[in-house]
A and B are shown apart, each in its own frame.
Chain A
Amino acid sequence: METIKILLDKCSGCGLCLKVCAYDALDLVDKKVYINERCTICGACVDVCKFDAIEIYRRSFKGQDVSAYSGICVYAEHRKNKLSSVVPEVIGAARELKKDLDKTISAILLGSGVKPLAEELISYGVDEVWMIDSLEIVDFAEDIQADLVARILMEKKPEIFLGGGTIIGRSLLPRVAAKILSGLTADCTELTIDTESKFLKQTRPAFGGNIMATILCQNHRPQMATVRHKVMKAAEKVGAGHNGKIVELHDIPIPHSKIEVLEFVEEQTETVNLAEADFIVSGGRGLKDPKNFDLIEKLSKAIGGAVGASRAAVDAGWIPYSHQVGQTGKTVNPTIYIACGISGAIQHLAGMKSSDIIVAINSDANAPIFDVAHYGIVGNLFEVVPELVKQITE
């Protein structure tokens, strides 16, 4: 059975679909469009067709009994018995969804000595914490954690399961999804409930942020998503009136981990942990010389921020890869992002476009960075940056 089809009687041959196809999978022959073998059935053409001439016949394998699932569950990622900073954001997203679903919010908490974290989760508005507190569950033993999360989800049957779009979250949740055979959407920047169907609408950037896709998981439960860090508003603490409960799960057997942790090495968090930074000053090719990163460091110090870099600067060997912002580096969402001497290649924009305020400093008024910047200074960065430092410290 063909899963995608052009209705030739409706096709006007306008060619609009050819323009949006990223796979070169459509051919225009005699004013009609034909699909070739490159098609991945991504659906971009369907949306853009003004004549409803493209159809995708959708049927997915038999899933879980959807009606048996209820509630929103979040994964409580933590390390060294401290909740990850993404967790309040995930709970924040869950609380927004709760407004439309009116179901309870639960959290899965795995680890040893994690009871205080359970209390903290409740303080953010979680109704029920499903907790396994065992010495065998150590940080980074993801294989055990994935196994336990899958078992809990199958037993408790929440309809939505959310995790942080962190390195751990984006490793753990796909494993869980493959265990329980449900759908997972990565790195969502927007989650809403469809008012009619009550399905979870999961929106995420793709193609390096060039397009956005809204994704549904209709026939399988739970509907799973990881949430991009620093995009969703963090849940604020709720008042003392909120009663949550902690449910300890004793009956679930804990498997042995095949991952042995030798050591965790923390690296210069102040300058490198771009993911958490509220202020980032980034330098690019316009710095012309590695020693000019001094300027960037001075400015970032002046505003108490972190140092980022474009791929060009990293590839030139001016600064280590851990500072790279962009599609092949880190995705950041600071309050202010100051791009100095960065032209704004798409691959860079993909990593910082969702910053609250973008400031661009560049000598080329036509640089694409100015297209996304909220504020910009066209000028010589070797003059502008020191002046900024001067005026800020004054």
Chain B
Amino acid sequence: MNYFLTEEQEMIKDLAAKIAREKVEPIAAEYDENEIFPNDIVEILAKSDLFRVFIPEEYEGMGGGVLEMCLVVEELSKACGGIALSYAGSALGTIPIMLFGSEEHKKKYLPKLAAGEILAAFALTEPDAGSDAAAIKTRATLENDHYVLNGTKQWITNGGEASIYTVIVLTDPNRGVRGTSAILVEKGTQGFDFGKKENKMGIRASATTELIFQDAKVPKENLLGREGAGFLIAMKTFDQSRPGVASQAVGIAQGALDKAVAYAHERHQFGKPISSFQGIQFMLADMATQVEAARALTYQAARIIDSGAKNIAKISCMAKVFASDVAMKVTTDAVQVFGGYGYMKEYPVEKMMRDAKITQIYEGTNQIQREVIALQLIREELRKKG
């Protein structure tokens, strides 16, 4: 299939695919079962320059954009959605620095992130603030030349593993969402600690923890953009990162489809491979069609973002919603094709089904995404009417 990628994008895709096939797939089940963070894979990705692909050249990157990032996430997710998340989660943490960081921030962090020497993370969610991001309680108060942070962030991908965190905090409790700000916090900062590692249904190779701030002192230069821009920074970051979640979903779905097709060909019942039965054929055909459609929409979203377009929230949400729903459907069907074996941990598809579920939830639940899409539609309609 020709996806009209450039030669360099093909190169990125091939290399990520090679790493997925040779390095990730053999360990995926073990890392999932034992919740092992894939430091070894991160090192391989770093040495292969794959953390560079979405970072500008002046900061030791290779000058690509969201599509390049998506290609890597998709290929890795074919083998393991959880391991892919260590990469995608770092990209999510890198985006606000690229979009809103000062020159000093960029010079300080981007080359190391590009080299894969350090990982990044992004922290918005709190126990009482999920979809309602404006309900955050983590406070940052300016005292002389420092912000002092107090509060707890929850379910933070790459928690404990990342070296640099973009944390959305409340700087002015009287102003609602306009009172939020984004502050860069380095691991090792006094008063900044990690809570327990979550025991998750899927993506178990990824690290998900609490971030705990107790009078954590952060230099005021670590403020991203300006005070009050926290919510905006979070939303603009998600606009760019959602195609990454979509690619993770496409990758998981494609991985499950590949396994299902191979299995249907091998598995014999009634003296014939089960792929010769129409019931299975129709399932496989629908799965393949859905994956292809999800990929098309994901690439389209990534390309629109990379073109520098302004209103990208809608297409970005569409890609995430569609691809993640497809991933859930296709992985569920893959388990069905495998029958009883599919339900067993010895076979890889039950893990894919568990991994797929999160893509419908994180970086904005699919219900919130639909609201954003609908809101945008209504806005466009109103604008037409002037």
The residues of A with any CB-CB pair to B shorter than 8 Å are 288, 315-316, 364, 366
For A288, what are the chain B residues with a Cβ–Cβ distance below 8 Å?
Answer: 346
Known contacts A366-B266, A366-B268; decide if A316 and B346 are in contact (CB<8 Å): no
Counting CB contacts under 8 A, is B26 at the interface? yes
Q: Which residues of B, 259-298, contact A by the 8 Å Cβ criterion?
A: 266, 268
When chains A and B are docked, how far (Å) is the Cα of A315 from the Cα of B25? Answer: 12
Chain B residue nearest to A315 (CB atoms) is: B26
Chain B residue nearest to A316 (CB atoms) is: B26
> A283 to nearest B CB, angstroms?
16
Name 7 A/B residue pairs within 8 A (Cβ), A-sorted: A288-B346, A315-B26, A316-B26, A316-B27, A364-B266, A366-B266, A366-B268
A-B residue pairs, 6 tightest by C-beta: A316-B26, A366-B266, A288-B346, A315-B26, A366-B268, A364-B266
When chains A and B are docked, how far (Å) is the Cα of A364 from the Cα of B27? Answer: 22
When chains A and B are docked, how far (Å) is the Cα of A336 from the Cα of B346? Answer: 29
Chain B residue nearest to A365 (CB atoms) is: B268
> A284 to nearest B CB, angstroms?
13
Q: Which residues of B, 1-54, contact A by the 8 Å Cβ criterion?
A: 26-27
When chains A and B are docked, how far (Å) is the Cα of A39 from the Cα of B207? Answer: 53
For A366, what are the chain B residues with a Cβ–Cβ distance below 8 Å?
Answer: 266, 268
When chains A and B are docked, how far (Å) is the Cα of A364 from the Cα of B26? Answer: 20
For B26, what are the chain A residues with a Cβ–Cβ distance below 8 Å?
Answer: 315-316
Chain B residue nearest to A364 (CB atoms) is: B266
Residue interface bits B228-270, CB-to-A below 8 A is 1, else 0: 0000000000000000000000000000000000000010100
For A315, what are the chain B residues with a Cβ–Cβ distance below 8 Å?
Answer: 26
When chains A and B are docked, how far (Å) is the Cα of A288 from the Cα of B30? Answer: 10
Chain A residue nearest to B33 (CB atoms) is: A289
For B346, what are the chain A residues with a Cβ–Cβ distance below 8 Å?
Answer: 288
For B266, what are the chain A residues with a Cβ–Cβ distance below 8 Å?
Answer: 364, 366
> B349 to nearest A CB, angstroms?
16
When chains A and B are docked, how far (Å) is the Cα of A315 from the Cα of B27? Answer: 10
> A294 to nearest B CB, angstroms?
18
Q: Which residues of B, 102-161, contact A by the 8 Å Cβ criterion?
A: none
> A340 to nearest B CB, angstroms?
16
When chains A and B are docked, how far (Å) is the Cα of A366 from the Cα of B26? Answer: 22
Chain B residue nearest to A366 (CB atoms) is: B266
> B26 to nearest A CB, angstroms?
6
For B268, what are the chain A residues with a Cβ–Cβ distance below 8 Å?
Answer: 366
For B27, what are the chain A residues with a Cβ–Cβ distance below 8 Å?
Answer: 316
Q: Which residues of B, 143-183, contact A by the 8 Å Cβ criterion?
A: none
For A364, what are the chain B residues with a Cβ–Cβ distance below 8 Å?
Answer: 266
Chain B residue nearest to A290 (CB atoms) is: B30
When chains A and B are docked, how far (Å) is the Cα of A366 from the Cα of B27? Answer: 25
